Each structure stands twice: as C-alpha cells, then as structure tokens.
C-alpha cells in the first residue's frame, strides 16, 4: 500500500507529505454518488458542495494528486467538518471518511499548515493538559475553585468576557461544572457482594470524566457490579486520545494508545468498558491506528477486540432484577460516535425501555449531530450554535423532561442548549437513568 505522498508528482507545495497522510486508494472509493449529502449537518446548514463529504473528499483528492495546494481555504473547509461520520454510515461504497479526515488533518497539522485555532487546541490545550493526568487534575482543581469562589459568576455578570476572542469566550460559556467529589478510585472499585464475579472488566476513567461526570462513573460501576462484574480502574491509564485524533494530532494519540494498551492488557480482563462514545470509538480503533507499529500492532488489535461500549455490554446480558419505576418522559440523542462510528443504536434504547414507567419519545432526527464534535463547539461556535438551535427545537417538540445521551461532549452541549434557550429539564447519561431505576427499586423493596 502506498501513501498519497509517494504518488504525487507535483511541486512540494501540494500533496500530503507525512507518514500519517491519507491513502489514495481510500479516497478513490468515493464514486461521487452524493447519497451522503443530505445526511451531512454542515451541508444541510450551508448547502455548499465544499461543506459536504463529497466536496471535502474531492478537495483531499485534489491535494493528494498535487492539483491544488493545501491553502487556507482548503483547511477551512476541512476544519468545518464535525467528524460526525454520518456520511460514512450511509456511504454505499464504504468510504472510510472518518479515517481519511483524521489522516488529512494529521498531515496538515504536522506540516504546520493548520488553522491557528487547531494548533492552539491540539498543542497547547490537549498536549499540555489532557495528555497529562497530573496537569488535568491541577487544571480541574483550579477550575473548581474559580467556579465555587464566585469568580465565575462575577466575570459572567461583568462585560470583561466580551473582551476575550471568540474561542475563549465560547470556552468560558461551555466550561463544565467541576464535581465537588471527583471519581478518583483506582484498582478494584467494585465487586458483587454475594457471588463470585461472572466477569472481570476494566473501566476507562478518561481525562475529563472523573472531574465533570464523576456521578456517571459511579453509576456505571454500580450497574456493572449489579450485572455480576468485578470492576477495575487501572491506575496508570491515560486519556484515550480521541480529542487528539479529532484535531489531527495522531502522534500524540499513538503515544497515549500505547500506554493504555500496556496498562489495560496487564489487567487480564474480559472486557474494557467505555461509557463515553468518543472514547469507545478511539479505543476500538487502536488496532487501525497502530497497524504499522511492529511492536504494538498485534497488542493493539487484541486491546480493541476487548473494548465494549457500556450499553452494548449490558444489553448483551440478561436484564438484572430489581428495576423500580421512573415516571419520566425521556428522549434519546444518539451520539455520532456511538451510532455512526460504532453502529450502536438499539442497545441504549432497549435499556431505557426496560425501565418501568419511563416513556421514551423519539425526536424527528435523534441521529443528527448536536454540534458538540469534541471541541468543535469551541473552535466553530457559529456552526455549533446553528446545529444546537435545531436540536433544541427537535427536543422541545417531544415534550421530554430528560434528554438521555451517552457522550460527555454531547451532554455538555445539550446542557448549554437548555441554558441558552431557558428550558427546564435535564440531560442524563443512559446509565444514570438505569442506575436511578435500580435504586428506586431498592427503596421500594
Ligand atoms: S462518500 Fe460515499 S455516499 Fe458520499 S459521494 Fe462518496 S461514495 Fe457517495
Ligand atoms: S463527518 Fe459529518 S460533518 Fe463531516 S462531512 Fe461527514 S457528515 Fe459532514
């Protein structure tokens, strides 16, 4: 297999040059049928071919064949892609769009032809903080102090925020509430009390989740234990690298993947559980990410084969006894990386529908991206806001009090939507609702 960079015959200005650039044979699978267009959120919003999967693939192909350089305009069109993979899910030719886009971005970033906001995101924020568990802990502690000291409310009431550049102002608005009790448990964090465990599973703790969604991890552990699992949280694990991959930093994502592979495989578990759609996708694709790494290719495939999204893992098991009623109207937002990247659609719904009293009302387009896209909503606030406005209208039409989802980024974006449009209700992870129902069952027993 040859890389595009080996096939270009034009001046050095054009073409993908790095080892992570996309393969021409992958790009050429697109037959320009256009079936993906109406499924692409940016195309639906803007109606421009250059903001569609077909248009972006055409640009990538033209760059790879040396017909056009990687200009600021090309980068802008590629950057506006959410990487939601809706196009990939519907493509009859099997174009691996997500992979191609990640590789194109990696090459652009590596060669310094990226947009400044992408550099800022990938190098300054992601590498400095997300890659390093100690630094993210310091950052989250400082953020918690900023929020609880009243400084945040003071700043939000003042006009000072308006002086910040767009991405920073947006970041401040989207910044999540830090939990007062982070999920810091490590080692064996749960085991069935009465019977020997049926499975031993490892939970990805992740970078932000322990600080912002500690309650989701706690609910996940309780559920897994109810379903007969011993749950271990490997202490030396690091961020899964999903956000790095999204922003084109494949080198750093590979470094993180190698570390996680060593740490998790050493635990000798039956499954590696992810409760965040983006993290699960990244880890299921470690095999692909490290396929050229002689030392890690086989281990990466072994690791990826063990990764299970928590919903697919639980839905495969007989329903545990003891569910109590939750009398709530719930609508479910499909996270793009759960539905389009992992093909998981029925399992979260089946778990919700198993809860007595819970009424699941579908949106007209639950599979349409909410605009979160990792850190997309920080870098591209205007497009993210357009998508969020559309999504909140769809949510409102259901009359639901609860928006259930299964991805940290979607949850934060939807919570921002509730605040922005002054809506009541709440956003909850599917496992939170299931855990609430079991606890309601215990109380009524
Ligand atoms: S990406 Fe797939 S669906 Fe879209 S135009 Fe190309 S072949 Fe058709
Ligand atoms: S990944 Fe999503 S935003 Fe990007 S081209 Fe495909 S459908 Fe459009």
Q: What percent of the chain has pLDDT over 70?
A: 92
The Cα-based distances of 153 to 161, 182, 366, 412 in angstroms read: 11, 22, 33, 18
Instruction: Give pLDDT tens digits for 224-238.
Output: 999 999 999 999 999
Total number of domains in the chain: 4
Where is the domain boundary, 136, 152, 174? Answer: 174
Q: What is the pLDDT of residue 116?
A: 59
- pTM metric for this prediction: 0.89
Where is the domain boundary, 315, 347, 368? Answer: 315
Return all residues near 138 (Cβ < 8 A) that are at least 6 apart.
none
Nearest CA to ligand 1 atom 2: 91
Nearest CA to ligand 1 atom 7: 30
The Cα-based distances of 401 to 266, 357, 404, 418 in angstroms read: 43, 14, 10, 11
Q: How far is the CA of 56 from the centre of ligand 2 (A)?
A: 9
Where is the domain boundary, 265, 289, 315? Answer: 315
User: For residues 202 and 267, is the Cβ–Cβ distance under 8 A?
Assistant: yes
Q: How far is the CA of 361 from the centre of ligand 2 (A)?
A: 26
Q: Which two tokens stand for residue 333?
A: 């937002």
Position 121 confidence tier, pLDDT thresholds 50, 70, 90 = low
Q: How far apart are CA 230 and CA 190, in angstroms?
A: 6
Q: How far apart are CA 206 and CA 21, in angstroms?
A: 27
Query: Is the predicted pLDDT of residue 5 greater than 60, yes or no?
Result: no
Q: Pick 150 or 358 by higher pLDDT.
A: 358
Q: How far is the CA of 93 from the centre of ligand 1 (A)?
A: 7
The reply to whether 322 falls in a domain is no
Are 11 and 100 found together in one domain? yes
Are 63 and 165 found together in one domain? no
Q: Which ligand is nearest to the CA of 96?
A: 1
Q: What is the pLDDT of residue 380?
A: 86
Nearest CA to ligand 2 atom 4: 81
Q: Pick 119 or 101 by higher pLDDT.
A: 101
Query: Is the predicted pLDDT of residue 156 greater than 80, yes or no?
Result: no
Atom of ligand 1 nearest to the CA of 35: 3
- For residue 289, the domain's CATH number is 1.20.1050.140
Q: How far is the CA of 126 from the centre of ligand 2 (A)?
A: 23
Residue of 50, 82, 100 to mutate, ligand 2, most atoms within 8 A of C-beta:
82
Are 199 and 306 found together in one domain? yes
Instruction: Give pLDDT tens digits for 333-359.
Output: 999 999 999 999 999 999 999 999 999
Query: Is the predicted pLDDT of residue 106 greater than 50, yes or no?
Result: yes
Instruction: Give pLDDT tens digits for 385-442.
Output: 999 999 999 999 999 999 999 999 999 999 999 988 999 999 999 999 999 999 999 8
Are 155 and 193 found together in one domain? no
Atom of ligand 2 nearest to the CA of 88: 6
Are 281 and 334 found together in one domain? no
> What's the chain's average pLDDT?
89
Pocket of ligand 1 (CB under 6 A): 30-36, 53-54, 57, 87, 91, 93, 95
Domain membership of residue 225 as a residue range? 187-315
**Is 56 touching ligand 2 by the criterion CB < 6 Å?**
yes
- What is residue 233's three-state secondary structure? strand
Radius of gyration of the chain (CA): 22
Q: How far is the CA of 42 from the centre of ligand 2 (A)?
A: 7
Are 74 and 139 found together in one domain? no
Query: Is the predicted pLDDT of residue 3 greater than 50, yes or no?
Result: no
Q: What is the pLDDT of residue 348?
A: 98
Instruction: Give pLDDT tens digits for 198-218.
Output: 999 999 999 989 999 999 999
**Is 61 touching ligand 2 by the criterion CB < 6 Å?**
no
Are 349 and 285 found together in one domain? no
Q: What is the pLDDT of residue 46?
A: 96
Q: What is the pLDDT of residue 10?
A: 35
Atom of ligand 1 nearest to the CA of 97: 1
Are 415 and 387 found together in one domain? yes
């Amino acid at each position: 297999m040859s890389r595009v960079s080996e096939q270009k015959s034009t001046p050095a200005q054009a073409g993908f040059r790095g080892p992570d650039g996309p393969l021409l044979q992958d790009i050429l699978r697109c037959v320009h049928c256009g079936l993906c267009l109406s499924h692409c959120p940016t195309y639906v919003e803007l109606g421009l071919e250059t903001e569609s999967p077909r248009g972006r693939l055409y640009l990538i192909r033209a760059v790879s064949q040396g017909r056009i350089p990687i200009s600021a305009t090309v980068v802008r069109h590629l950057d506006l892609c959410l990487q939601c993979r809706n196009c990939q899910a519907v493509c009859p030719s099997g174009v691996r769009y997500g992979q191609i886009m990640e590789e194109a971005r990696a090459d652009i970033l590596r060669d310094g032809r990226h947009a400044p906001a992408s550099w800022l995101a990938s190098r300054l924020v992601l590498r400095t903080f997300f890659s390093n568990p100690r630094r993210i802990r310091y950052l989250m502690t400082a953020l918690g102090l900023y929020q609880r000291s009243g400084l945040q409310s003071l700043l939000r009431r003042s006009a000072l925020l308006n002086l910040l550049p767009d991405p920073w102002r947006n970041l401040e608005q989207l910044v999540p509430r830090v939990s007062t009790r982070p999920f810091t448990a490590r080692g064996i964090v749960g085991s069935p009390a009465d019977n020997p465990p049926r499975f031993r599973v490892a939970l990805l703790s992740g970078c932000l989740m322990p600080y912002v969604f500690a309650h989701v991890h706690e609910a996940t552990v309780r559920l897994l234990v109810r379903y007969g699992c011993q749950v271990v949280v490997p202490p030396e694990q690091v961020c899964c690298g999903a956000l790095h991959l999204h922003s084109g930093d494949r080198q750093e994502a590979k470094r993180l993947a190698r570390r996680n592979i060593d740490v998790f495989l050493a635990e000798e578990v039956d499954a590696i559980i992810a409760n965040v759609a983006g993290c699960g996708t990244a880890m299921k694709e470690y095999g692909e990410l490290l396929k050229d790494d002689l030392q890690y290719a086989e281990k990466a495939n072994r690791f990826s084969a063990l990764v299970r999204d928590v919903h697919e893992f639980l839905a495969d098991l007989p329903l545990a006894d003891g569910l109590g009623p939750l009398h709530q109207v719930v609508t479910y937002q499909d996270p793009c990386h759960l539905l389009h990247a992992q093909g998981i659609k029925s399992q979260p719904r089946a778990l919700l529908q198993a809860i007595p009293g819970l009424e699941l009302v579908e949106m007209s387009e639950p599979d349409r991206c909410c605009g979160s896209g990792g850190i997309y909503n920080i870098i591209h606030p205007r497009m993210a806001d357009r998508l969020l406005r559309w999504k909140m209208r769809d949510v409102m039409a259901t009359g639901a009090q609860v928006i259930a989802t299964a991805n940290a980024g979607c949850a934060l974006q939807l919570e921002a939507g509730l605040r922005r449009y002054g809506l009541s209700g709440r956003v909850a992870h599917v496992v939170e609702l299931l855990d609430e129902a079991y606890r309601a069952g215990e109380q009524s027993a």
